[in-house]
A and B are shown apart, each in its own frame.
Chain A
Amino acid sequence: MSTVADERNARAPWVLSAPALMLFVGVLLIPLAMTVMLSFHDWGQYKGIEPVFILKNWKEIATDPYYAEMFWRTFRIAILTTLLTAALGAPEAYILNRMDGRWKSIFLLVILGPLLISVVARTLGWALLFGGNNGLVNKLLMSAGVIRSPIPFMFTETGMVVALAHVMMPFMVLSVWAALQRLDPQIENAAMSLGAGPITIIRRIIMPQIMPGVLSGAIIVFSLSASAFATPAIIGGRRLKVAATLAYDEFLNTLNWPLGAAVATLLLVALVLIVVGSNALIERRYVEVFR
């Protein structure tokens, strides 16, 4: 009797998690494995996809500087976006945390607001403001005589970084804010009573304690920026491609699915390595603050 019950108990977790597990395997693991396999297949203009095992696509990515440029651009944009969100988001969260109750909730809503709007609508908003001669801001500044030609924004890396930073800001602010919540409310007073000035307090006391929050926010922002599609597609278009838009184009325009799959796989592997690596580094470095 008891062995039957034990067996049933041992099986129960598996049975209960089976639906989720099947969904996970069905819609994530299998397509992922198929994508990886696809990246080793052959493709020709007239013969289509040939299910053979070759390294042609990988060789092409490794040797053609075009792909290196794409990936470096993706990496550069993601890093700059991360730095920008950290530089603006961390002080923003600190100021937010020091506000009075009512203002705090209003400004929190303002910060979270972008999350409530579709990323396409938000990015198109930037395009409306800065898009060439007809962009609202460009028009105003030009008619006021401040600038002669429109501010270059569309199809530039700067434009992409600014638009992405806008989209990603809430993730950084929330992450830093969570770290600030863990601070002892008297910690600044303690440092002050020992003779520390405001800058020393921020540099020596606050910064080291919110650093884990900044870094985990940075990991989120970096991985989302590096794999972002909508914003680079609208701001960068065809002229300024990143890894995600490159894979999209290979799939849907050139119809070279195997090459697109290779690009997507490389992006995924690179992101996983960077994220896991930096996470391990952070946890080791800030072991005392995390306790």
Chain B
Amino acid sequence: MAFLELEGVAKQFGAQTVVEDFSLSVGKGEFISFLGPSGCGKTTTLQMIAGFLDPTRGAIRLEDKDLTAIHPAKRGLGIVFQSYALFPHMTAAENVAFGLEMRKVSRADRAERVRAALAMVGLAGYEDRHPRRMSGGQQQRVALARALVIKPSVLLLDEPLSNLDAKLREEMQIELRQIQRTIGTTTILVTHDQNEAMSLSDRIVVMSQGKIEQIGTPQQTYEKPASAFVSQFLGKTNDFAGTIDRIATPARLVAGSWSAPAPAGLSGPVTVSIRPERIGFGDAGLGAKIVTRIFQGNHWLFQCESECGSAIVIRQNDGQPQPTEGAAVHLNWRPEDMSVRARTVA
């Protein structure tokens, strides 16, 4: 049964539609990411759940109760903001205690829960620090403790890691996932970073221009992107122009000198999408010439000029000799690794 449910939610600012027909049902304890470029409506959707914005249309339900009818202060959701929005005039402990104070938790109980929350995010001993005397990562942890200490029904994270440097961000990702697993709070993360979305979430909602492009597990969205946008946005991909020949028997999918048995359904011009790490070099297949070869430690990155336009190939550094720059190669891949979409011919 759905824990948090959004049904046909839309938001308009004047004539501009920011979010359109957003439907999603989130299970209890699930970790969901809203992923998309800036301006795709992901933060607007989060703010509607939080109650800072009212949806123009649609319903938001939490455990079958209409959430939009409840004042934001009474929704009991934990929110971590991109800027953290800590109270600079309060110490870390006072910041975390604020939500408990509003809930009229007794002083002794409060102190105990604040201590536990700060310890959980690894900030034991920092109780009396003021936020402006803490590093970005520490402030982030205080913000997380402040949101979690009120035992929220849903935890909303609005680009919480985007202000941290790359190394710290990775550490916090792992920690965030562990904390979420431990306490089992249903979590919605808004991010524009596909790695963050993939490494943290149970399911990803890929958004573009106010619309949902795809909802799926990280593997599904990566391996079987529902649209060109999804395949472009989640990692690198190669798009080759191909044709499905239904006259030949059996029907065949042809892209340059590469061909395979045609998948069911489509015919005529198609786009073949294939991830760079799924392409191999072989004796037959799409003809290509290697333009540049970049060594990146655990893998090689090849930029090739193929019959069907430029292509990127990633090969594991398995100790085998690799083709050099300028070498003529053939690119091939297993049909099950590609995704094929109809292509409109301009």
- Which A residues form the contact surface with B (CB < 8 A)? 184-187, 189-197, 200, 204-205, 208-209, 286, 288-289, 291
Q: Are A194 and B83 in contact (CB under 8 A)?
A: no
A–B pairs, 24, beta carbons within 8 Å: A184-B81, A184-B85, A185-B83, A186-B85, A187-B85, A189-B52, A189-B72, A189-B79, A189-B85, A190-B79, A190-B81, A191-B98, A193-B73, A193-B147, A194-B98, A195-B76, A195-B99, A195-B102, A195-B103, A196-B102, A288-B89, A289-B88, A289-B89, A291-B88
Assess whether B78 is interfacial by the CB under 8 Å rule: yes
A-B contact count (CB 8 A): 73
Task: A291 to B89: give the CA distance in the assembly, Å.
Answer: 10
Q: Are B98 and A193 in contact (CB under 8 A)?
A: no
- Which B residues form the contact surface with A (CB < 8 A)? 50-52, 72-79, 81-89, 98-99, 102-103, 130, 132-133, 146-147, 150
Kindly list chain A residues whose C-beta atoms are within 8 Å of the C-beta of B86. 184, 190
> Which residue of A is nearest B91, CB measured?
A288
Task: A204 to B97: give the CA distance in the assembly, Å.
Answer: 13
Q: Are A196 and B98 in contact (CB under 8 A)?
A: yes
Q: Are A205 and B72 in contact (CB under 8 A)?
A: no
Task: A208 to B103: give the CA distance in the assembly, Å.
Answer: 21
- Select which of A184, A195, A288 is within 8 A of B150 by beta carbon: A195
> Which residue of B is nearest A187, CB measured?
B85
Q: Are B73 and A288 in contact (CB under 8 A)?
A: no
Q: Are A184 and B83 in contact (CB under 8 A)?
A: yes
Kindly list chain A residues whose C-beta atoms are within 8 Å of the C-beta of B83. 184-186
Kindly list chain B residues whose C-beta atoms are within 8 Å of the C-beta of A289. 88-89
Kindly list chain A residues whose C-beta atoms are within 8 Å of the C-beta of B81. 184, 186, 189-190
CB distance from B50 to the nearest CB of A (A): 6
Question: A187-B85, A189-B81 provided; 13 other pairs, C-beta below 8 A?
Answer: A184-B83, A185-B83, A190-B81, A191-B98, A192-B73, A193-B50, A193-B147, A195-B76, A195-B103, A197-B73, A209-B89, A291-B132, A291-B133
Q: Known contacts being A192-B73, A193-B50, A194-B99, is A288 close to B85, with CB within 8 Å?
A: no
Q: Are A288 and B99 in contact (CB under 8 A)?
A: no
Kindly list chain A residues whose C-beta atoms are within 8 Å of the C-beta of B76. 195
> Which residue of A is nearest B133, CB measured?
A291
Kindly list chain A residues whose C-beta atoms are within 8 Å of the C-beta of B102. 194-196, 200
> Which residue of B is nearest A196, CB measured?
B102
Q: Are A193 and B77 in contact (CB under 8 A)?
A: yes
